[in-house]
Each structure stands twice: as C-alpha cells, then as structure tokens.
Amino acid sequence: MVSIPVFDGHNDTLLRLRREGWLGFFERAERGHIDLPRAREGGFGGGLFACFAPNREDGRRGGDAIATLAEGDASPLDPHRAREVAGALAEELFGLEARSGGSLRVVRTAGEIEACLREGVLAAVLHFEGAENLGPDPSALEEFHERGLRSLGLVWSRPNAYGHGVPFRFPSSPDTGPGLTEAGRELVRECNRLGVLVDLSHLNERGFWDVARITEAPLVATHSNAHALCPASRNLTDRQLDAIRDSDGIVGVNFAVGFLRPDGAEEEDTPLGEIARHVDYLVGRLGIERVGFGSDFDGAKVPRALCDVSGLPRLLEALRERGYGEPELRKLAHENWLRVLRATWGA
C-alpha cells in the first residue's frame, strides 16, 4: 500500500524545540512527537507550524496541554513579549529550513505545498497562534506576511487586544465571553486583504460568529473537534460546524485526548477509534470535502496507540477499516487542506 502523505493543521514543534535548546530535529529521537526522520516514517508531508508564546516558559509541555494543566496561566500576555518569542520561533523555522539541506521548505502557496508532497520535502506553513504575536501594532501583519506568515489565530485561550480565547473547561459551551474588539474585526479584514488564513480554533463562540460575519474566506478551525462528542470548550458546536460547511471551510481533527474523549480525561490509553469517531461525525456534518487533520503534535497528549507522527499510517489504517476508501483518505489526508488554503491564499 502506497502511503498517503498527510498535511496537518497544527503542531507545536517549534515551541518544544525551543524548550529543548533546538536539539535534534534532524535526528530520530524518542522525545516529543515530530522530528524529520519520524515525519518521513509516518508520511507526514507537513503542516501549519505554530509560533506560540506561552505565559510561562518553565512548563514541559506547550500548546493546549500547558493550560489544561494550569488554567490560571491564561492571563493576557504583554504583546512586546509575545512578539519577541514568536519572532524568535519564526526565525528558528527559517533556520531549520536553511540547515535542512532541502528537506524542509517554508511554503507560501498551495502550489508549493503540492510540490513538496510530490518531492518528499517537508512543507512548513508559518502560523501565529495568537495575534499578540504581532506586537503592540497590528500593522506588523504586513511585514510578517512578507516574511512568509500565512496563517493567524486571532487568539490563543486567553484574551488579547483582538478578542477572547476560550478558557480550557470541561464540560463547557464555547460561549464563554464577548466577541471580537474593533481591532479584532479590523484584523480579520486585513487578513482577507493580504490572503492570511484566520484560524478559529481557540476563539470563543461570539468571536467565531463575528469572524463568520466579516470574513470573505472559508471558515477554518485548524485543530478542534466535535462538541457533540466531547463537550470541551475548545470544541465546535453543531451550529458552528454548519457555518464552516456553508463557507466550504475545514476542520482539522485534533488528536489531543482531552478534546476527543466523551469524559474529557487526559488519558493516554485512548483508542485510535476516538479519533475516527470524530472524523465520522465531522464527515457526517460537513461532508468528506471539509475535514482534515490538526494533530496538535508536540502540544498535547495524544493516544498512546498513535505514539507520535510515525504512527499516522496506523490512523489511516483504522479509517480504512471503517470503510474509507483511498479517494476519501486522500481528501482527509491533504486534498481538503490544499483546496481551502488555495481559496484563502489565492494561489
């Protein structure tokens, strides 16, 4: 069986590497979820590489998990500090590209991603998780776009000048606070103008509907699941899913066990079937054309059966056993992401 390359909506590998002193992306390691050798083993063709500035840098985990463990850490972050950290992470991504000998490419168009998938080059999309990363002046978006930024989450799970992220709660509705600020609404228009993807994962529900009203691009949640199956605040209600469907957008299925399981438990002994259950539900709601993956690798606890990025073929096999054929698997693995990115970026 020829393995199908996976293009993925979210990883926190840059933050993990920063915490580990930028050791070992090019050698196979046991720690973390993504390095180049394991990416190749798993058929991981690339994805959105998040630049995320945590409130504290002493935690061992990044991304979603750190706040799940310590919700009190989700206070607003000084935008000067956020820009310093995110800018450093972005520079390190370009550093990885430079040191990769052609095996990793920072991509700016859908055509470049397609070329990478064909050539076996790891495709990295520069993504900011939280618009405080732009610094105190949002006009920096244009500058970062010129350098390669193609995706922006308006918020992480904390408030900022643009909107309010969902705190990590279980069980909880995602309707946890006010919508976008005027600066947030303006930033959505600016993203549309430049062709920067606006990521809805981590945004609260009122902010979601504000984006839905303003944006001209497909609605995208890079790493979120179905609230009907796992009532975490980070997951999407059926109404939100219907809006994503109507915009011809996409949901990237998150592998974080706490966003998969009906009980929301941070339990590694979670079967791969829990991921498949969300895929089934989302496909039922959105259609096979509007579901992809958004692993949260290196930012969350994933099922032990997956282990890390090298386990992706086991997930595809589990989906095959559930009746997904090769054309459907190719859509889920990368074709749907490519369609939405092309529509959003205009290339």
Minimum Å distance from CB 129 to Zn ion? Answer: 6
- Specify the residue, 217 or 221, whose C-beta has the smaller distance to Zn ion: 221
- Specify the residue, 63 or 303, whose C-beta has the smaller distance to Zn ion: 63
**92, 18 contact by CB (below 8 A):** yes
Q: Is the peptide bond before 171 cis (omega within 30 degrees of 0)?
A: yes
CA distances from 312 to 125, 179, 288 (A): 19, 36, 19
Query: Which tokens hold the place of 256?
Result: 């974080």
Contacts of 290 (CB under 8 A, 6+ apart): 244, 245, 248, 249, 250, 251, 282, 336
- Specify the residue, 93 or 316, whose C-beta has the smaller distance to Zn ion: 93
Q: Provide the residue type at 231 as one letter.
A: P
- Specify the residue, 63 or 87, whose C-beta has the smaller distance to Zn ion: 63
Minimum Å distance from CB 72 to Zn ion? Answer: 18
- Specify the residue, 64 or 92, whose C-beta has the smaller distance to Zn ion: 64
- Specify the residue, 53 or 117, whose C-beta has the smaller distance to Zn ion: 53
Minimum Å distance from CB 89 to Zn ion? Answer: 14
Segment 15 to 74, residues that bind Zn ion, using CB under 5 A: 63-64
Size of site (CB under 5 A) for Zn ion: 2
Minimum Å distance from CB 325 to Zn ion? Answer: 31
Minimum Å distance from CB 157 to Zn ion? Answer: 8
Buried-state track 16-39, b at ≥16 Cβ within 10 A, e below 16? bbbbeeeeebeeeeeebbbbbebb
| Of 297, 241, 15, residue with least CA distance to 128 | 15
Q: Is the dihedral of CA 238, 243, 245, 246 positive or negative?
A: positive
Query: Which tokens hold the place of 100?
Result: 């990769």
CB atoms within 10 A of CB 239: 12
Query: What is the rounded distance in angstroms from the CA atom of residue 263 to the CA atom of residue 68?
Result: 14
Minimum Å distance from CB 196 to Zn ion? Answer: 17
Which residues are at the interface with Zn ion (CB under 5 A)? 63-64
